[in-house]
Structure 1
């Protein structure tokens, strides 16, 4: 389905308490959407809702831990009741961990898998049947260029985001006959709280480097949000808002072994020294 904002869209956004989730809610409000803003941090979701209301849109703030299947099921039921249906689901909630693959404890693997991957799976599982029943809808799964490029010191994050890309590709083919569109958003760096709230291991410098790149990025959360919604409206599967991510993805597809055996280690080593 090609998403249309010609009439009010009924949208659910997870991870709406700040960062990209808040930017998505605000951009949806500018497009006259009706919104459910969900976050494990209810106070953050309520703050987002207050900002949305000032733009004149109807919004409901709900608490939801996307790592819990029962919580996502309750979110889907509540959203359908509050909005009268759901046209757009944005699986945005996410966390981060970094460090050498052999230094990351199992608890952190389970934590990031629960939010970044299972949270998206639960969202699709619970909302897609509603979309089938109403005759269509659209899903935006927020992944990352990390799911396409898989750089060192980010194994758990890479694994979860690659899973989101694979899920989105599968859904795009599977759900097209049901008039349900899918977009997977794969940004590189922009300013959010994900690094500050992450779990980082070892003296790898990856989190500090990522923070610096986030601050330097020309395209920040508001621009990424607009890009994502425009991509969904255009029926685009892969949405890569940042030029560096787009070019690196093309380079990887052109020469994947050279990319991982030569270019990535060399670049990462040079960047770590800086």
Structure 2
């Protein structure tokens, strides 16, 4: 089912990267948006770009770890536009490293933003969408949540939780007109590596190279995300490598994780395993 014309949308983590890209794609559809982030300067830049692209926009500072601030987004959308048609639960960060090497503080930071942020978004918006009788929710997960590659434990766990939540909601909302999709890209060019935390410099450098060297832009991922949302896909996996690796995991079972572990010991094989 296609999104309505001039959809009313809420996008978290909209100051840059994918959040900005999907906000602008919605603006091209003359969307009325509430966008949020903790980076208020970047948020203001996104808002100006939205206006230039043909959309209307309200901005609000929001730390998705705080449920009251997530609720405030919904209240602003209600006040400004009379409700919300589309929610993009996007705000996220990255932590990399081996289990036992990553400080627990970084585990908490990862889970509180990537997972609790999405939980808060769904907790706030699902009842409102049920009441209005329609809605679309895009939870930004990752192929990491499907594949569980080594040295990405905190990120894997947070994104696997987002996928599990999306699967749960898909079943709970099946008899409604509220649609839920989990976006599961592999690496694409965004800014997530700039604030990433890693247990070692080599792991951080490798992660940054995979992101900055990807042929996929945030805009291309945003286009596919909206298409998948409109088609009612639960799993939106934009890239071929993600689809192939997920298929291999389902076929190989634990053998897939053995292959991933061996790749960790061989840098060339690791780059091939995680190629973008």
Written as runs of structure 1 = structure 2, the 5 A alignment for 1:105-144 is 105-144=103-142
- After TM superposition, where is structure 1 displaced by more than 4 Å over at least 4 residues in a row? none
Greater Cα offset, 122-131 or 103-112: 103-112
Name the structure 2 match of 1:255: 252
Report the alpha carbon displacement of residue 216 of structure 1 after superposing the two structures with TM. Answer: 2.7
Greater Cα offset, 8-17 or 187-196: 187-196
Q: Is the 8 A contact 2:8 2:32 kept in 1?
A: yes
Name the structure 2 match of 1:230: 227
Aligned with residue 172 of structure 1, among 163, 170, 191: 170
Name the structure 2 match of 1:267: 263
Greater Cα offset, 18-27 or 193-202: 193-202
What TM-score do you get using the length of structure 2 for normalisation? Answer: 0.94
Unpaired stretches in structure 2, ≥5 consecutive residues: 272-276
Name the structure 2 match of 1:35: 33
What TM-score do you get using the length of structure 1 for normalisation? Answer: 0.95
**SS in structure 1 of the partner of residue 137 of structure 2:** strand
Q: Distance in 2 between matches of 1:211 and 1:153?
A: 14
Q: Distance in 2 between matches of 1:3 and 1:35?
A: 17
Q: Distance in 1 between matches of 2:194 and 2:248?
A: 30
Give per-residue Cα distances to partners, 1:110-151, cap 9 Å, x unaligned: 111110000000000001111011111010000001000011
Q: Is the 8 A contact 2:9 2:86 kept in 1?
A: yes
Number of positions where the alignment pairs a residue of Structure 1 with one of Structure 2: 270
Report the alpha carbon displacement of residue 166 of structure 1 after superposing the two structures with TM. Answer: 0.3
Q: Distance in 2 between matches of 1:256 and 1:79?
A: 44
Written as runs of structure 1 = structure 2, the 5 A alignment for 1:1-274 is 2-5=1-4, 7-203=5-201, 205-261=202-258, 263-271=259-267
Q: Distance in 2 between matches of 1:3 and 1:166?
A: 25
Report the alpha carbon displacement of residue 65 of structure 1 after superposing the two structures with TM. Answer: 0.3
Q: Distance in 2 between matches of 1:213 and 1:202?
A: 16
Q: Is the 8 A contact 2:185 2:238 kept in 1?
A: yes
Unpaired stretches in structure 1, ≥5 consecutive residues: none
